[in-house]
Amino acid sequence: MSRLAVPKTYKLFIGGAFPRSESGRTYEVRAVDGSFLANAALASRKDARDAVLAARGAVGGWSGATAYNRGQVLYRIAELLEGRRAQFVAEIEEAEGVSRAVATAQVDESIDRWVWYAGWADKYAQVAGNANPVAGPYFNISVPEPTGVVAIVAPQDSSLVGLVSAVAPALVSGNSVVVIASERFPRTAITLAEVLATSDVPKGVVNILTGSPAEIAPWLASHADVNALDLVGAGDLEWVDLEFAAADTLKRVLRPEPGPDAAAPSLERITALTETKTVWHTMSLL
């Protein structure tokens, strides 16, 4: 006896919860052959504002955690990704129309990248910071600190690798994130959200919006409570206009990255979303 299919409506991930879009809108997610896969929430301006509010509320706790603790939390996410590896492979295979081997390679690369970034959490400051030589009886030390709330347009042609490659480095230093997932491939983004919801990541540290980047990105670019804008996946948008909008509130902007491996793992992706704080301290003369 055959069973009826149970189509799933994928929701947003805001503040550790899975709300519907406040607008009530959804859109159909289809495979490359046109077959129906699911419905996904079509995020609105109000959803973007709610996500920024949740991210702002989470910055203090996440940035205030020790670097070692953040690394352990990020590594735990990689463990959970590994545990749901088969589900991610099946979703990528269906959505992108690739072979199981290709989908498996993408998932493995995503997990490996998450582990790579987790390992930097308690090490990047030693590379990016330094003790500065000064004339006088002082210690002068520069240390990297998180920028704050980072809005990200994830790579749009990637189900999982691009999303992980954009989100993970922003979290390493203690930033919180609002990310617009791939419009064509939103299912893996919400599956990742389900992983995050069952991990030790504090609620609000990662917020995932699905829908149209062209509709949502301008509101995030102009939002006064967003501190940085990563446009790695905005190459097909009017991203210069987004950059101008971000300039009105003095945001740091990372421009789109062309090529098949946008947002490749690098220490620079971590430090690009940090601010350098320099501290002077008097030397003891005893």
Q: Distance (Å, rounded) from C-alpha 218 to C-alpha 233?
A: 14
Q: What is the pLDDT of residue 279?
A: 84
Residue 177 structure tokens: 């994130």
Q: What is the pLDDT of residue 260?
A: 60
Q: What is the pLDDT of residue 259?
A: 67
DSSP string of 218-246? HHHHH-TT--EEE-TT-TTS-HHHHHHHH
**Taking the domains of the chain in order of start, what are their residue ranges?**
9-282
3-state secondary structure of 277: strand
Q: What is the pLDDT of residue 78?
A: 97
Q: Distance (Å, rounded) from C-alpha 180 to C-alpha 238?
A: 15
Q: Distance (Å, rounded) from C-alpha 132 to C-alpha 153?
A: 36
Q: What is the pLDDT of residue 285?
A: 56
Phi-psi region of 148 (alpha: psi -120 to 50; beta: other; left: phi over 0): left
Structure pTM? 0.93
Asked if the 9-282 domain carries CATH number 3.40.50.920, the reply is no
Dihedral of alpha carbons 217, 219, 223, 225, sign: negative
Q: Distance (Å, rounded) from C-alpha 269 to C-alpha 274?
A: 9
Per-10-residue mean pLDDT of the chain, 286 residues long, equals 79 97 94 91 98 98 96 97 96 94 97 97 90 80 92 94 96 98 96 95 98 97 98 95 96 86 87 90 69
Q: Distance (Å, rounded) from C-alpha 51 to C-alpha 46?
A: 9
Residues in a beta bridge with 146: 274
